[in-house]
Amino acid sequence: MKVEAIVYKKNGKPRKGKGFSRKELEEARITIKEALKLGIPVDRRRSSAYKENIEALKQFINSVKTSSEKGEKAKKLKTRTKTKKA
């Protein structure tokens, strides 16, 4: 899964950005290190914060959390079945 930042040109048209700003990451409650570990692009030069980007980050984080929880449940089930067979 990939998440992309949206930036607005001078004429107001949106375009794909290089990464999320520090303010956007802070408002989504992520550190820069965590973002880089998750594969979220970070643009250290940007200082603006757009609501669309913050919402996209929050949705991405929720999807990562749910997928990791599903993976943990699957690991637990696999270990349970292995121990029952032995």
Whole-number pLDDT of residue 68: 78
Q: Is the pLDDT of residue 56 over 80?
A: yes
What is the residue-averaged pLDDT of the chain? 87
Query: What residue ranges in 1-86 does DSSP mark as E strands?
Result: 6-8, 14-16
Whole-number pLDDT of residue 85: 59
Instruction: Look at 12-21, 26-35, 58-67, 76-85 and tell me which has the smallest mean pLDDT.
Output: 76-85
Whole-number pLDDT of residue 82: 65
DSSP state of 18: S
**pLDDT digit string (tens) for 11-49?**
999 999 999 999 999 999 999 999 999 999 999 999 999
Distance CA 40, CA 3 (A): 7
